[in-house]
Chains A and B, each alone.
Chain A
């Protein structure tokens, strides 16, 4: 069954599909089962038709004019913004997901205090972004920010104005982003780890696999697919994230830390030109579309494997 769909988008895996069919609901759905399945799909289909198709189509239409892209590309900071976006995505997304992967293992511990620590650890995720990032902006103030106050009190050092230089400012943005979003992915990956049958670990420990070996041979292969999906989704979402940059550095110093999202918000709502704003994020489509296609393949694969 699944094979039809999978081969339609060019990733047919006959062997796996045959295996699936053997395990599936005896040779496909019939009669009332089919109706149940259709009924179960109604809610999402309704959401999709009402709230995805129309807005997305209208959104794409807003960014259809070539002149919007001409205006965008002639912006002197556009190239720099692309570089920042690539760094923000490349470093921020991968680093925080990798941390989340490690920490999810840590939080699997049965220790009561490790489990309590998890509640503290997810606080950054629960605090509203805007005040948090404003607070971080103040923490990094060179004169009275918490960081420099602490450096002075503890070590007698006068710290710099962290946000006055492009790279420290961009690094601050990435660190703030990691601080804010690692807890979310940690919770997701904890759930992923919960799905790994305990027997596999027992079998592995009989074979003498512990620690890192256990991770590389048991945990990671089973989490890999989920991890990849998380990476791709996080990349897509982070592309649209403007709060972090907007409130931590405001794009400064001298517009050197803008990302496409903040540029787009500025063009749409401050320059009052929503079409150019839309063009700013749509100009990332060459990056986004391959990601979406990889995701599609991944998602199709999860259905035919196992």
Chain B
């Protein structure tokens, strides 16, 4: 009797705790939501105003219109007359950067962290050299080497720069993340006669999925929002990207700010969609029982 009472008390306390933590979760969620949305709301508010009425004293759009977004989508403004083509170039650079960063990053971290090649540590330490000078200050050196390599006005020049900056980070994160994957898994596969390539492909990559989604998103967004290296290394209209098109709005003191903000909001969506598509792989990693294997 007393035992069941006690059990009931525990259950009630657990329920109370549950309700409390749920309430806490909602409060935190609301704070996060407001924090995130206020600056975005300010951007959307500008995007929704007609050009002549961008600045006013209201906290909601006064003459809200979707015309700005429509103008962007139909390329009906001269800064945006190649918007979709530029979006295509941005995607091309973004996807190429992501794929190469993930491929090179996982291969290198596999050797450094798991195969334990003699002196492989040199690689990850040398990679740090990339970060001795901040990315934005390597503009002139990169301009020069790309010219010397004959990569002037070539989308791959931008991809190369982005991969160069994303890969060291990818290697660190993958090596760090991979260190929590038990080496016994590799051992077991080797005893079964798997070659290193098979271990990399069948054992290593699947277990790395969560970190690959995170690092892949990082690489994609690094390339997606690159601006400096795009105008620096690209020249022709044919090779321009959306960030360069956005930069045009700052060419003069005068610009349709509503269109700039509408373009920015539209441009932010593809990476979110891509992240959403790959997000389910994040939970497909260790927690799903890989460790037990």
Q: CB within 8 Å of B: which residues of A?
A: 1-2, 4-6, 9, 20, 23-26, 28-29, 32-34, 36-38, 40-41, 43-45, 47-48, 50-56, 58-60, 62, 103, 106, 109, 111, 113-114, 117, 119-132, 134-136, 138-139, 144, 146, 149-150, 152-153, 176, 179, 184, 187-188, 190-192, 194-199, 222, 225-226, 229, 233, 236-237, 239-242, 261, 264-265, 268, 274, 277-278, 281-282, 285, 288-289, 292, 295-296, 299-300, 302-303, 305-306
Nearest 7 interchain pairs by C-beta:
A240-B134, A55-B141, A191-B214, A5-B121, A194-B210, A36-B196, A131-B264
A82 CA / B40 CA spacing, docked (Å): 31
Chain B interface extent, by class:
35 or more
Q: How far is the CB of A183 from chain B (nearest CB, A)?
A: 8
Indicate whether B161 reaches chain A with its CB closer than 8 angstroms: yes
Instruction: List 5 extra interface pairs beyond A25-B187, A233-B169, CB under 8 A.
Output: A5-B122, A56-B130, A56-B138, A197-B180, A226-B177
Given A44-B104, A44-B167, the answer on whether A29 and B275 have CB atoms closer than 8 Å is: no
What are 26 A-B interface contacts by the 8 Å CB criterion? Answer: A5-B122, A24-B183, A47-B167, A50-B145, A51-B142, A56-B133, A126-B268, A136-B42, A138-B46, A138-B55, A144-B57, A153-B58, A176-B39, A190-B210, A190-B214, A194-B286, A195-B285, A237-B131, A237-B134, A264-B137, A277-B137, A281-B133, A296-B128, A300-B121, A302-B113, A303-B175
Indicate whether B73 reaches chain A with its CB closer than 8 angstroms: no
Cβ-closest chain B residue relative to A34: B117
Given A37-B111, A44-B104, A302-B176, the answer on whether A62 and B58 have CB atoms closer than 8 Å is: no
Indicate whether B267 reaches chain A with its CB closer than 8 angstroms: yes
Evaluate contact between B108 and A40: CB separation under 8 angstroms: yes
A259 CA / B186 CA spacing, docked (Å): 47
Given A55-B145, A62-B141, A128-B243, the answer on whether A296 and B125 have CB atoms closer than 8 Å is: yes
Interface of B is mostly: helix
Evaluate contact between B149 and A50: CB separation under 8 angstroms: yes
Interface centre among A24, A25, A38, A109 (most CB of B within 10 A): A25
Indicate whether B205 reaches chain A with its CB closer than 8 angstroms: no
A130 CA / B226 CA spacing, docked (Å): 10
Evaluate contact between B141 and A123: CB separation under 8 angstroms: no
Q: How far is the CB of B110 from chain A (nearest CB, A)?
A: 6
Interface centre among A124, A192, A302 (most CB of B within 10 A): A302
Indicate whether B126 reaches chain A with its CB closer than 8 angstroms: yes
Evaluate contact between A281 and B55: CB separation under 8 angstroms: no
Evaluate contact between B225 and A128: CB separation under 8 angstroms: yes
Given A29-B116, A40-B200, A153-B59, the answer on whether A305 and B179 have CB atoms closer than 8 Å is: yes
Our pick among A37, A150, A261 for the contact of B59 (Cβ within 8 Å) is A150
Residues of B within 8 A of A26 (CB): 187, 190
Interface of A is mostly: helix
Evaluate contact between B115 and A191: CB separation under 8 angstroms: no
Our pick among B137, B283, B291 for the contact of A278 (Cβ within 8 Å) is B137
Indicate whether B221 reaches chain A with its CB closer than 8 angstroms: yes
Given A47-B167, A109-B25, A303-B175, the answer on whether A233 and B131 have CB atoms closer than 8 Å is: yes
Evaluate contact between B140 and A274: CB separation under 8 angstroms: yes
A191 CA / B215 CA spacing, docked (Å): 9
Evaluate contact between A261 and B111: CB separation under 8 angstroms: no
Cβ-closest chain B residue relative to A195: B180
Evaluate contact between B163 and A47: CB separation under 8 angstroms: yes
Cβ-closest chain A residue relative to B291: A197
Our pick among A51, A242, A306 for the contact of B164 (Cβ within 8 Å) is A51
Cβ-closest chain A residue relative to B148: A54
Q: How far is the CB of B199 from chain A (nearest CB, A)?
A: 9
Indicate whether B98 reaches chain A with its CB closer than 8 angstroms: no
A37 CA / B263 CA spacing, docked (Å): 45
